[in-house]
Amino acid sequence: MRRALCPVETLYVGQRSRAVLSCALSGRLDLGALSAAFDAVTGEHPSLRSRIVPDGEGFALELLDEAERPRLATRTGNTEKAYAAELNTPLSVGGPMSRAVLVSAPEGEDHLFVLSVDHTVVDGHSGIALLNEVWDRYRVLVEDGTRPDTADRDALRWPRPVSELLHPADPERTTAHLERRIDEVRRNPVELVPYDVADPSGVEGRIEVCRLTLDAERTGRLRRTARAAGVSVHALVAAALLTTARGHLPDGPRTLGCLSPVDLRSRLSPPVPALMMVPAVTTHLQFLALPTDPDPMDVARTVHERLADFVAGDGPAEELRITPEVPRRPTLQLATVIATNMGVVPGPRLPEGLEATDIRLVPAREQYFPAAGRSPVMACVVSFEGRLAIEFPHFTACYSPEFMGALRDGVGAVLAAFADAAPAPAPTS
């Protein structure tokens, strides 16, 4: 049984990218209940228990048989090493679109749950919803002892492709949008941050993640600064990324690009819930001519105003419609920095006796090109339980851990300055 991929979904097939969600846990954990919870969730979402196969001139999702479907893998070991291993273990070609692994420390009650899902069937919002759904099912099993009803578990409920849920398009309008975008990128060639690894042949290339975290108090101050300035927290983070990246380029005016993913779920007809396994996202690319030492707040205001104008109009839908052009014209999405932002999201609700000590969302892919000499800098931003975190995934044959650490610290310094400028909180009555 198959479901054809639409042109937008097909774009992700060649990228071999995935969302890696993880949850560090402390306390008692019932392996049988967690395995049953994962089975119940994958049973309700056929995309997670499918493979990608050729289908005419395109591709399709093909349902796996019972023996091939993904199951929870469990093992004992060091949780930090296990996380690094999962980041560097691709989803198998021709295998399931999802993988779940639980690693428990040899002694004690520390665990790491890692859920990897192919971006062909997931985006950041649905990935987070999926992680929380697994733990919701687990909590019900542990607290109530109720096993999932599997009578209708394998009934096919393929989600409709996002491109079919857009409002009716005017072909002339879409063509005009594409022509404007092609002209825009032609007139604004962006500069990319050069790799610092001089000889990648002598480096063991692997995915690593440099991380910046803010506690709840500093996150709150950053939000107050954003409100006082009339901008979003996303704009402040994007400004920190852009001004820091600008510091790694030669002096003089430089054109930088900022790519911001835009969630489409509320814009579709009908609206798409977060737990529907589709990549319901488009992008906004803007160009900024920055001097040698730009003012971060000025940059934040520019980012905010342009993104707000884009979201308020037909830009998101038109940008999705021209997405199939990206493989032929990659400059349509070429940026100096890619700033994803999931906003403020809840963490898993767990039963008594089990605590989530850390939650992470990191994008990973399988193809990196050290010989290119430069590339966009990726930052994945999410606020779990009111604490902002920025993940900087990178390939060590391109950017060294030392370089990414310095870039993270630069971003952190700009965000710290923003937070320090926060007005006092409003008094409570």
Each residue's pLDDT tens digit, 96-116: 999 999 999 998 799 999 999
Strands of 202-345, DSSP E: 207-213, 254-263, 281-290, 337-345
Looking at every residue in the chain, the average pLDDT score rounds to 94
Each residue's pLDDT tens digit, 128-181: 999 999 999 999 999 987 665 654 555 678 999 988 888 888 999 999 999 999
- Whether the pLDDT of residue 426 is over 80: the answer is no
Tell me what pLDDT residue 107 has. 83
For the domain bounded by 163-346+357-420, which CATH number is listed?
Answer: 3.30.559.30
- Whether the pLDDT of residue 254 is over 80: the answer is yes
Domain with CATH 3.30.559.30 in the chain: 163-346+357-420
Compute how many other C-beta atoms are within 10 angstroms of the C-beta atom of residue 296.
20
Tell me what pLDDT residue 429 has. 59
Give the rounded distance of the alpha carbon of 56 from its chain centre: 30
Largest pairwise CA distance in the chain: 66
Tell me what pLDDT residue 40 has. 96
pTM score: 0.94
Percent of the chain with pLDDT over 70: 97
Tell me what pLDDT residue 151 has. 47
Domain with CATH 3.30.559.10 in the chain: 2-144
CATH class of the structural domain 2-144: alpha beta
The C-alpha atoms of residue 33 and residue 86 are separated, in whole angstroms, by 22
Instruction: With H, G, I as helix, E, B as strand and everything else as coil, classify residue 116.
Output: strand
Tell me what pLDDT residue 147 has. 63
Query: What is the enclosing helix (H) or strand (E) of 24?
Result: strand 17-27
Query: What is the token pair recorded at 288?
Result: 């900024």
The C-alpha atoms of residue 233 and residue 419 are separated, in whole angstroms, by 11
- Whether the pLDDT of residue 28 is over 80: the answer is yes
Across 289-305, average pLDDT: 97
Length of the chain (residues)? 429
**DSSP state letter for 334:** -
